[in-house]
């Protein structure tokens, strides 16, 4: 696992160096980072799952209180 992390870090450093050689700043290089996009999608999926679970739990409790579910 550590080796994989080091390989990813090395790749990012090489890419930043290559972009710097092309005259692109680190700020712009960070905008091209695909891992941020993946993290953002993962966060959206996790939020959607939480909303669905909490809504289902609320509806279940409300159904018990109203006597629909015995």
Domain boundaries, the chain: 2-66
**What 8-state DSSP symbol labels residue 50?**
H
Q: pTM of the entire structure?
A: 0.47
Q: Are 10 and 20 in contact (CB under 8 A)?
A: no
CA distance linking residue 35 with residue 9, whole number of Å:
12
Total H helices, total E strands in the chain: 3, 0
What is the per-residue pLDDT across 5-57, written as a single tens digit (0 to 9) for each?
566 666 666 766 655 666 655 555 556 566 777 888 999 999 999 999 999 99
């Amino acid at each position: 696992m550590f080796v994989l992390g080091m390989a990813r870090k090395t790749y990012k450093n090489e890419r930043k160096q290559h972009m710097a050689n092309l005259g692109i700043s680190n700020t712009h290089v960070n905008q091209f980072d695909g891992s941020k996009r993946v993290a953002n999608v993962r966060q959206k999926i996790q939020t959607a799952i939480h909303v669905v679970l909490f809504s289902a739990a609320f509806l279940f409790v409300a159904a018990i209180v109203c006597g629909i579910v015995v």
